[in-house]
Amino acid sequence: MSHLHVVGTGLIGASFAMAAREAACFTRITGADADPARVGRAVELGVIDAESDGIGADAVLVAVPVGQIARVVIELETTGVAQASTLFDVGSAKQQPLASLAEALGSVPANFVPCHPMAGSDQSGPEAASAGLFRAKRVFITPTQETGRRHLERVREWWQACGAVVSETSAEHHDAAVALTSHLPHLLAAAFMALIADRDDAAIMQFAGSGFADFTRIAAGDPALWRDIVGSNRDAIDTQLNAFVALLGELQTDLGSGRLDALEALLSRAQRARRDFSQGGESGAEQ
């Protein structure tokens, strides 16, 4: 493979370009972005070699917001830009884009490999990109029945060359899992910060310590990006949100009735689960 084209030169797209260049996966890397200034910065920073329409690229990374993935892939396929290329994405929801592709094209293209790297940052843009972003991080591939084996293996090899740990799962299982481990936590952090912001007490943040900072850090993420993510995985998030609300109801009942033993049992269960997670290795995902 010699030519990678990156559609979307933000944090993830730029980081993959840098990692793939470092691993010598491609000899030429071009890019495109809806924001001319952003793709210009990617060129200035040496993330990509030049801005391009991607014609003739051997591989095309679609690193756009999840709600735009299907539109971009359809455009690439129907205009002939990438019919001979291996296409792959980095979207944090899978079922909705795949359903849109199947509806528009009759089936999901064989040369499209759905991916989701469990890595990110609360920073954005090519300035925040890093060649090491994916090292030791999990990347999930959710192939469909139509996915071509040759394309799948290429994409797997590229991610591994970037230092990622690659796993396969179904789109359904992926979306249910990330709703609980990524999307719901972001909404909870955002809701908590909104609660704080609504307080008529300018001095309250003087009481915020490191635990507060850890818990709310992800609330600093791009609101437009997260609106798109949540909108693309609404059903799965709603299911997990209902379960969380029910658990909060139990917690409120135990607290109100003075059932501190029940509260301690929940805290102990949470402590064990967090310890197990830490010992198993944290993925560092932001999306």
> Tens digit of pLDDT for each residue in 13-72?
999 999 999 999 999 999 999 999 999 999 999 999 999 999 999 999 999 999 999 999
Are 70 and 156 found together in one domain? yes
Q: What is the rounded CA–CA span in Å between residue 179 and residue 242?
A: 12
Per-residue pLDDT of 117-173, as tens digits, reads 999 877 889 999 999 999 999 999 999 999 999 999 999 999 999 999 999 999 999
Give the count of beta carbons closer than 10 Å to the beta carbon of residue 249.
Answer: 10
Residue 253 CA neighbour count, 13 Å, CB half? 7
Position 280 pLDDT exceeds 90: no
Residue 138's DSSP bridge partners are: 165
Q: Are residues 104 and 69 in contact, defined by beta-carbon separation less than 8 angstroms?
A: no
254, two tokens: 């135990």
Are 156 and 181 found together in one domain? no
Position 287 pLDDT exceeds 90: no
Are 147 and 235 found together in one domain? no
Position 198 pLDDT exceeds 80: yes
Report the pLDDT value the prediction gives residue 247, as an integer from 0 to 100: 97
Asked, for residue 287, whether it belongs to a domain, the answer is no
pLDDT cut 70: percent of the chain above it: 97
One-letter amino acid at 60 equals V
Q: Are residues 92 and 62 in contact, defined by beta-carbon separation less than 8 angstroms?
A: no
Q: Decide which of 154, 169, 184 is a domain's last residue.
A: 169
Q: How confident is the model at residue 229 (pLDDT cuts 50, 70, 90)?
A: very high
User: Average of pLDDT values for 248-273?
Assistant: 96
Are 152 and 192 found together in one domain? no
Burial 110-134 (b: 16+ CB within 10 A, else e): bbbbbbbbbbbbeebbbeebebebb
Report the pLDDT value the prediction gives residue 1, as an integer from 0 to 100: 64
Position 282 pLDDT exceeds 70: no
Position 7 pLDDT exceeds 70: yes
CATH of the domain at 101: 3.40.50.720
Q: In the chain, how many domains are there?
A: 2
Q: What is the 3-state secondary structure (H, E, C) of the chain?
A: CCEEEEECCCHHHHHHHHHHHHCCCCCEEEEECCCHHHHHHHHHCCCCCEECCCCCCCEEEECCCHHHHHHHHHHHHHCCCCCCCEEEECCCCCHHHHHHHHHHHCCCCCCEECEEECCCCCCCCHHHCCCCCCCCCEEEECCCCCCCHHHHHHHHHHHHHCCCEEEECCHHHHHHHHHHHHHHHHHHHHHHHHHHHCCCCCCHHHHCCHHHHHHHHHHHCCHHHHHHHHHHCHHHHHHHHHHHHHHHHHHHHHHHCCCHHHHHHHHHHHHHHHHHHHHHCCCCCCC
Are 107 and 223 found together in one domain? no
Are 111 and 221 found together in one domain? no
Report the pLDDT value the prediction gives residue 150, as an integer from 0 to 100: 97
Position 283 pLDDT exceeds 60: no
Q: What is the mean pLDDT of the chain?
A: 94
Position 200 pLDDT exceeds 90: no
Position 242 pLDDT exceeds 90: yes
Are 122 and 246 found together in one domain? no
What's the domain range around 75? 3-169
Are 82 and 193 found together in one domain? no
Position 234 pLDDT exceeds 80: yes
Are 145 and 32 found together in one domain? yes
Q: Are residues 59 and 85 in contact, defined by beta-carbon separation less than 8 angstroms?
A: yes
This prediction's pTM: 0.90
